[in-house]
Each structure stands twice: as structure tokens, then as C-alpha cells.
């Protein structure tokens, strides 16, 4: 009985593989640096993503024009957007919306406008453009994304964009030849620390042809990283050192400012 079940499972797996459409093209991609170090005086930088479209004998002979969309997403975290109103002469928080596990950095680049690459339905399904990226939120007792013009969603994207952490550029991908391409990935000074996923999608005639992924990491180095690592791995020792430094600072201040 077990053997029959195992053979049935294997048969289904082989059938599904046979039914899956074979890609006529594949993407070969890489970034200029897979590990970016951030020091205390880091003021921003840029990586370069480059790659090529490789065809095979299954590629239709009339397929010559391609479109490319690159999505870069940074480490995810819960974030809150608050609405402030002026009451009795002061600004106070009156409402808020929690965004759940959203990217700390999000960038979408393409070689031409998204509405020229694919239909609105394909754009929504493939999350092309900031308006189509899913940003899960806690809305009362429910969890869902909302319409792009929702005030909280719009404010969240606008605030992140003002700091260079959310962006889209529809002319950032350059085809150097019909199959070779490149694009820059700007990294602002406030870039979050962590792992960044890069997804590259290839389109032709409004349809997704294939996609590829790569990644890079942003790490903090120097004294700040030493302090953060010590606090995380040796909390008791970090607490003792912090208390000692506070005592020494108070003692030195009492000497400098004491009155004779």
C-alpha cells in the first residue's frame, strides 16, 4: 500500500513537471557588490545591477523586444503611521494605522512606464509600481491592504519616499543591447541594515516571460556596530559598562564645574 502511494505521488510530480511550461529565456543577473558596509559617516551610495537575457531554441523567432521590471525590497518590520490634528493650540495624535511586516526599503525600476509594459490586471497581479505593491495593514480587527488613495497608505508611502526609502523610476533600466541591461540601485544615508532581495521580471508583449532573483546585504561596521553587538550578546556587561561610564561622566562634570 505504501509503495503504491509513493508511486502515485511520484507519478503526479512527474506529470506536473511535464505540464509546467518551459521558459524560452532565462535571466543571468548580478549586483556590483553583495555586501555593503555602513560606517558612522555613511552618506549614501549606489549599487549597479547588471545582467543579460539568454535565449534558447524554444524562443519564438519574432520575439525581439523585452521589458524589465526590477523590485528591490529591504528588511521588513512593523511600522505605524499617525494622523495629527491641531486641538487647543497643540498638535496631537488622533488616529493611527499599523503596517505589518512592510519593507523598510522599496524601489521599483523599469525601462518604460508600467502601463506601457502590461495591462492593469497584470500590473496588479505582478505588483508593478508602488500603487500595486501589497502593504499589509491592521484595519480594526482585520488584516488587509487597501486602495492606493487611502489617506494612511498615501501618507505612509509619501513619508518613506521623502527619505528616499520608497521610490519608483520608469526609465532607470537601460538596455545596452537587445539582451544586455543595467540599472542603478540608490542607497540613501538612512538605509536600513539587513538583507535586501532583488527580483527581476522579464516581460514581452504584456506577458511575464521569466524572472530571477538575487540579493545583497547591508551591514554596519565600526564602533556603533560594536556597541550594538555587545548590547545584544552581552546585555549584563553592556549594562555595567554603561553605568560605569555614567558615573565617570558625572564625577568629571562635578570636578569641572565645582565651585571653589
- Residue, of 241 and 114, whose pLDDT is higher: 114
Smallest CA-to-CA distance from 200 within 214, 220, 219, 221 is with 214
Question: To 5 degrees, how large is the angle CA 145–CA 70–CA 130?
Answer: 30
Burial call 163-202: b when 16+ CB within 10 Å, e when fewer: ebbbbbebebbeeeeebebebebbbeeebeeeebebbbbb
pLDDT score recorded for residue 9: 40
pTM assigned to the model: 0.74
Report residue 90: phi and psi, to 5°: -130, 155
The answer to whether residues 114 and 69 touch, using CB atoms and an 8 Å cutoff, is: yes
In the chain, % helix, strand, coil (3-state, to 5) comes to 30, 40, 30
From residue 136, how far is each of 36, 143, 147 by CA, in Å?
28, 7, 11
Q: Return the percentage of the chain with pLDDT > 90, whole number.
A: 53
Q: In angstroms, rounded to a whole number, what is the distance separating the alpha carbons of residues 192 and 165?
A: 9
Tell me the longest C-alpha to C-alpha distance in the chain: 96
Query: Which residues, listed in sequence order, are joined to residue 204 by a DSSP beta bridge?
Result: 207
Of 29 and 224, the structure prediction assigns the larger pLDDT to 29
Residue 12 and residue 14: Cα distance in Å, rounded? 5
Instruction: Indicate if the pLDDT at residue 125 is higher than 80.
Output: yes
Under the banding of pLDDT at 50, 70 and 90, the label for residue 14 is very low
Name the more confident of 95 and 174. Answer: 174
User: Using 50, 70 and 90 to split pLDDT, how confident is the model at 24?
Assistant: confident
Q: Tell me the average pLDDT of the chain.
A: 82
Residue 110 and residue 68 in contact, taking contact as beta carbons nearer than 8 Å: yes
In terms of DSSP bridges, do strands 25-31 and 166-169 run parallel, antiparallel, or are they unpaired? Answer: unpaired
pLDDT single digits (tens) 93-118: 667 788 999 999 999 999 999 999 99
φ, ψ (nearest 5 deg) of residue 170: -95, 15
> Does residue 70 carry a pLDDT above 80?
yes
Strands (E), 180-241: 180-187, 194-204, 207-220
The confidence score (pLDDT) of residue 201 equals: 97
Amino acid at each position: 500500500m505504501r509503495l503504491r502511494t509513493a508511486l502515485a505521488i511520484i507519478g503526479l510530480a512527474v506529470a506536473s513537471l511535464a505540464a509546467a511550461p518551459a521558459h524560452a529565456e532565462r535571466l543571468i543577473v548580478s549586483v556590483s557588490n553583495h555586501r555593503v558596509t555602513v560606517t558612522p559617516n555613511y552618506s549614501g551610495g549606489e549599487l549597479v545591477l547588471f545582467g543579460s537575457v539568454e535565449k534558447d531554441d524554444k524562443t519564438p523567432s519574432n520575439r525581439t523586444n523585452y521589458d524589465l521590471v526590477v523590485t528591490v525590497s529591504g528588511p521588513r518590520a512593523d511600522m505605524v503611521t499617525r494622523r495629527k490634528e491641531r486641538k487647543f493650540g497643540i498638535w496631537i495624535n488622533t488616529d493611527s494605522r499599523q503596517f505589518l511586516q512592510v519593507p523598510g526599503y522599496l524601489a521599483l525600476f523599469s525601462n518604460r512606464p508600467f502601463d506601457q509594459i502590461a495591462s492593469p490586471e497584470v500590473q496588479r497581479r505582478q505588483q508593478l509600481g508602488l500603487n500595486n505593491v501589497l502593504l499589509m495593514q491592521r484595519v480594526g480587527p482585520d488584516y488587509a491592504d487597501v486602495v492606493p488613495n487611502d489617506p494612511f497608505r498615501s501618507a505612509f508611502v509619501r513619508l518613506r519616499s521623502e527619505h528616499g526609502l520608497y521610490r519608483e523610476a520608469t526609465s532607470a533600466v537601460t538596455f545596452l543591447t537587445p539582451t544586455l541591461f543595467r540599472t542603478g540601485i540608490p542607497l540613501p544615508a538612512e538605509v536600513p541594515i539587513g538583507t535586501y532581495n532583488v527580483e527581476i521580471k522579464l516581460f514581452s508583449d504584456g506577458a511575464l516571460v521569466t524572472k530571477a532573483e538575487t540579493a545583497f546585504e547591508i551591514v554596519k561596521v565600526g564602533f556603533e556596530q560594536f556597541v550594538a553587538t555587545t548590547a545584544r550578546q552581552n546585555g549584563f556587561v553592556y549594562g555595567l559598562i554603561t553605568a560605569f561610564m555614567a558615573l565617570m561622566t558625572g564625577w568629571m562634570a562635578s570636578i569641572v564645574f565645582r565651585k571653589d
